[in-house]
Amino acid sequence: MTRLPCELFLGLRYLKPKGTFVSVITLISLAGVTIGVWVLIVVIAVMSGFDRELRSKLMGMQAHVTVSGGLIENGEEVIAVARSLPRVKAASPFVLSLVLVEFNRRIATPYLKGIDPEREIQVSRLAEYVQQGTLDLTGETVVIGRELAAQYGIYLGDKITVYSPRNFEKRGEEVYLPLELTVTGIFESGMFEYDATLVFTSLATAQELFELSNAVHGIEIMTDDPLAGAQEVAGVLNQRLPPTLRAQTWAEMNRRLLGAIQVEKTVMFFILLFIVVVAAFGITSTLITVSVQKTREIGVLKAVGATPGVVLRIFVLQGFIVGVCGVAMGTTLGLLTIQNIEPIQYFIQHVLGIEVFPREIYNFQKIPAYLTGRDLLTIGGATLVICTLAGLIPALRAARLEPVEALRHE
């Protein structure tokens, strides 16, 4: 028969439900810890899922590194410098500017991006996102986003009229006519900002429209790693390229958006952690009551040789045990919720009639949930620390009791 240490044995014995008011408070505290861990795991997993999906979609439409800074006359030379770096896998020039699009007497103002399709597919996933038609940009053609097409009733084969800033300039008697571009493809990236405000045409067509000759607005670069590789390549290019040009990673270009999500995740963690803190107050009140009820037993323990450290550990272990049980049950419920998040979403939407995840707002097919081991350890560790500290105050009180005074207690 396995013998438990004295502190652990007594800690478990004092927590054993006996139908008293103290036992009810203990169960309520345990439920509070469980719910706190459960909610924390689900919320942090969803926030991490949003962050992961957003990063994936951003990198699907953006290259790892972008070189820009006014007109780049020697675009191929910049590409050659970039391709000479060992961590660079591909590079592609582009032209990007705001245009005015007219279709059926309706006006839109998207960004038009001129690309080289053969090189563009090496630095982005645009070809994978084309849902209708193909990425065919030969001649005067254009590929538009699904949201833009839906808003203005544009279909494959339709012709849209594109005006550039030069069409509104007056140069004597010269008149610049807009271009009529045929829609050959409709893409869907899953990001409303891209699908509603971005259209693609060939690099030559964009250069003609903006009267750029052979100049480009920037160079997109794909590296072997979107984090460390992109940072290293951007740093080297900023040293080698002229001061007028600047290389930025995709994370730097989207730092406000990514930073906002990270701040929200951190704030949500601390807000929801207060559920555990509230439950910890229940643990503290329970142990204070237990220490008062067991004053005579504490006196007996000290009279037979128990040190203050032994008594201290008995009550600290009680808080720790509640924390362990709460973390175990909360983690189980949290993982089950994440695993079955789609059926739960379906039940809430179709049975209760509550739209919890509007697709037109979030642009995700389903609720993204991704739980890392680090997040799980952080939640579990923080909960255990709070629950253990909750038992410290009553433990210190019990440890300071004098045997004689404790034995006189009625």
Q: Of 59-68, 258-267, 304-313, give the range with the top mean pLDDT.
A: 59-68
| Matching residue, tokens 């008062």 | 292
Residue 336 phi, psi dihedral angles, 5° rounding: -65, -40
Alpha-carbon distances, residue 207 vs 87, 94, 144, 219, 261 (angstroms): 30, 9, 18, 14, 37
Q: Has residue 353 got a pLDDT over 80?
A: no
The continuous run of DSSP H or E covering 66 comes out as strand 65-72
> pLDDT category, 149, cuts 50, 70, 90?
very high
Please compute the mean of the pLDDT values over residues 257-277 and round it to a whole number: 84
**Looking at beta carbons, which pairs linking 171-175 to residues 24 or more positions away fall under 8 Å?**
none
Give the lowest-confidence range in 97-106, 169-178, 284-293: 169-178
Angle, nearest 10°, between helix axes 75-83 and 228-240? Answer: 130
Give the lowest-confidence range in 11-25, 236-250, 255-269, 286-300: 11-25
Angle, nearest 10°, between helix axes 295-303 and 255-293? Answer: 80
CA 279 to CA 29: how far, in whole Å? Answer: 5
The two three-digit tokens of residue 79, written as one number:
């590409």
> pLDDT category, 96, cuts 50, 70, 90?
very high
CA 368 to CA 311: how far, in whole Å? Answer: 47
Q: Has residue 316 got a pLDDT over 60?
A: yes
Query: Torsion angle, CA of 330/332/333/334, rounded to 10 degrees?
Result: 80
Alpha-carbon distances, residue 139 vs 142, 201, 204 (angstroms): 9, 9, 9
Mapped onto helix, strand or coil, the DSSP state of residue 172 is coil
> pLDDT category, 346, cuts 50, 70, 90?
confident
CA 348 to CA 388: how far, in whole Å? Answer: 37
DSSP letter for each residue of 101-130:
EEETTEEE--EEEEE-HHHHTTTS-HHHHE
> pLDDT category, 67, cuts 50, 70, 90?
very high
pLDDT at position 1, please? Answer: 39
The DSSP bridge partners found for residue 161 are 102, 180
Q: Has residue 49 got a pLDDT over 60?
A: yes
Residue 281 · residue 390 · CB < 8 Å: yes
Please compute the mean of the pLDDT values over residues 45-73 and round it to a whole number: 86
The two three-digit tokens of residue 350, written as one number:
């179709």
- Beta strand 65-72 with 216-223: parallel, antiparallel or unpaired? antiparallel
Share of the chain above pLDDT 70, in %: 81
pLDDT at position 203, please? Answer: 92
CA 351 to CA 224: how far, in whole Å? Answer: 47
* Average pLDDT value for the chain: 82
Residue 11 · residue 311 · CB < 8 Å: no
Higher pLDDT, 305 or 95: 95
Model confidence pLDDT, tens digit, residues 198-234: 999 999 999 988 888 889 999 999 999 888 889 999 9
Give the lowest-confidence range in 45-49, 52-56, 127-131, 350-354: 350-354
Angle at 243 between CA 238 and CA 248, to 5 degrees: 40
The distance of Cα 180 from the centroid of its chain, to the nearest Å, equals 41
- Beta strand 141-145 with 179-187: parallel, antiparallel or unpaired? parallel
Please compute the mean of the pLDDT values over residues 174-200 and round it to a whole number: 85
Please compute the mean of the pLDDT values over residues 288-295 and round it to a whole number: 68
Give the lowest-confidence range in 135-139, 330-334, 399-403: 399-403
Cα dihedral sign, 181-182-184-187:
positive
The distance of Cα 175 from the centroid of its chain, to the nearest Å, equals 50
Give the lowest-confidence range in 77-81, 302-306, 347-351, 377-381: 302-306
Q: Has residue 4 got a pLDDT over 60?
A: no
pLDDT at position 398, please? Answer: 67
Picking from 13, 2, 4, the residue whose alpha carbon sits closest to that of residue 315 is 13
Give the lowest-confidence range in 11-20, 143-152, 302-311: 11-20
Q: Has residue 169 got a pLDDT over 90?
A: no
The two three-digit tokens of residue 405, written as one number:
């005074």
Residue 77 · residue 71 · CB < 8 Å: no
Please compute the mean of the pLDDT values over residues 316-335 and round it to a whole number: 87
Q: Say how many C-beta atoms besides its own lie within 10 A of residue 353's C-beta.
A: 7
